[in-house]
Amino acid sequence: MSDDHSILRLKDVHYQWSGPNAFGLTILDFHIKRGETALLLGASGSGKSTFLSLICGTITPHSGKILVDDVDLTTLSNGKRDRFRGDQIGLIFQQFNLLPYASVLDNILLPLRFSPSRKAKVDSPNSTAARLCVALGLPQGILEKQAGTLSVGQQQRVAAARALIGAPPLIIADEPTSALDAATQTVFLELLFNQTSANGSTLLMVSHDARLADQFDRVVQIADIVETTKETV
C-alpha cells in the first residue's frame, strides 16, 4: 500500500437520528491520509460524535459509503463490522470508559482480547503495556492500580495506552482533553502524537477547542464538510 492512499474516506453519507427534532447529517466527501494527525472542530451539538460513530460503524448510514482502509463498513454484517472495528480502530472516548474496578494493566490489554490481529503485533503484553505507560508519562507501578482510583489526567493516559496497544491503523479520539487545563492538554497531545507516529497510525480527533489547532497536521471545521438539518416541529 502506498503512503498517499487514504485510511478513511466518506462519500455521499447520510444519517438521520429518529424522533421529533431529528438531527440529520450529510457528508459529501471527506478523507484522511495515512499517517496524518487531523483535528475536526465544531461546536457542541454540531454532530461530531455522530460523525465518529459512523466511522466506527456503531451506527450505520442510510446511504453512502464509509471506507476504512479500503473496506466499506456499510457492506459488512454487524459481527464482521465489530471485529473490523476492533482490528482497525483504537478509540479514546470523551469519558475514557475505563473499567473502574479493573487494574490499569487489564484495561490496557482489553482490546487484545477482541482483536487477534492486534494481539499478534504484541510479543509480550505486560511489557508492552508498561512501555506504553512510560511513553505516556505515567508513573512506574501504576499497572496494578485500580483504574477508578487514578486522577483524570492519568485515566486519560491509560485510555490512550488502551487505544494504542497493538498498533491499530486508525486512532479516533472524541474530545479526550476536554476535562484538562491547556498545559496538560498540550503535553498529552505531544505524547499521543509521538506514540501514534511510532505505531505508523493515523489520528483523527474531534474537539470544540480551537486552541489545539496549531498542534495538528490538518484542521477541518465540521461545518465545512457536513450539512446538517434539524427539523422543527
The β-bridge relationship of strands 202-207 and 37-41 is parallel
Min dist CB 221 to ligand ADP, Å, is 12
Query: What's the CA gap between 192 and 78, in Å, rounded?
Result: 30
Cβ atoms of 25 and 47 within 8 Å: the answer is yes
Angle, nearest 10°, between helix axes 104-114 and 125-135? Answer: 120
Q: Taking CB under 6 A as the rule, does residue 44 contact ligand ADP?
A: yes
Instruction: Determine the interface stretch with Mg ion among 41-49, 111-119, 125-133, 187-195 (rule: CB under 5 A).
Output: 41-49
Nearest C-alpha neighbor of 164 from the set 91, 222, 217: 91
Cβ atoms of 51 and 27 within 8 Å: the answer is yes
- Burial class for 177, CB neighbours closer than 10 Å (0-12, 13-18, 19+): buried
Query: What's the CA gap between 131 and 144, in Å, rounded?
Result: 14
Instruction: Determine the interface stretch with Mg ion among 7-15, 48-56, 129-137, 183-191 (rule: CB under 5 A).
Output: 48-56
Rule CB under 6 A: choose which of 13, 47, 106, 138 binds ligand ADP. Answer: 47
Q: Taking CB under 5 A as the rule, does residue 49 contact Mg ion?
A: yes
What residue type is 110 in one-letter code? L
Residue nearest to Mg ion (CB): 49
Cα angle for residues 142, 148, 153 (degrees, 5° grid): 65
Min dist CB 25 to ligand ADP, Å, is 8
Rule CB under 6 A: choose which of 46, 177, 195, 202 binds ligand ADP. Answer: 46
Instruction: Determine the interface stretch with ligand ADP among 15-23, 31-39, 65-73, 95-103 (rule: CB under 6 A).
Output: 15-23
Instruction: Determine the interface stretch with Mg ion among 2-10, 27-35, 43-51, 178-186 (rule: CB under 5 A).
Output: 43-51
Q: Taking CB under 6 A as the rule, does residue 23 contact ligand ADP?
A: yes
Residue with cell 459529501: 28
Q: Taking CB under 6 A as the rule, does residue 49 contact ligand ADP?
A: yes
Q: Taking CB under 6 A as the rule, does residue 50 contact ligand ADP?
A: yes
Contact footprint for ligand ADP (CB under 6 A): 17, 19, 23, 42, 44-50
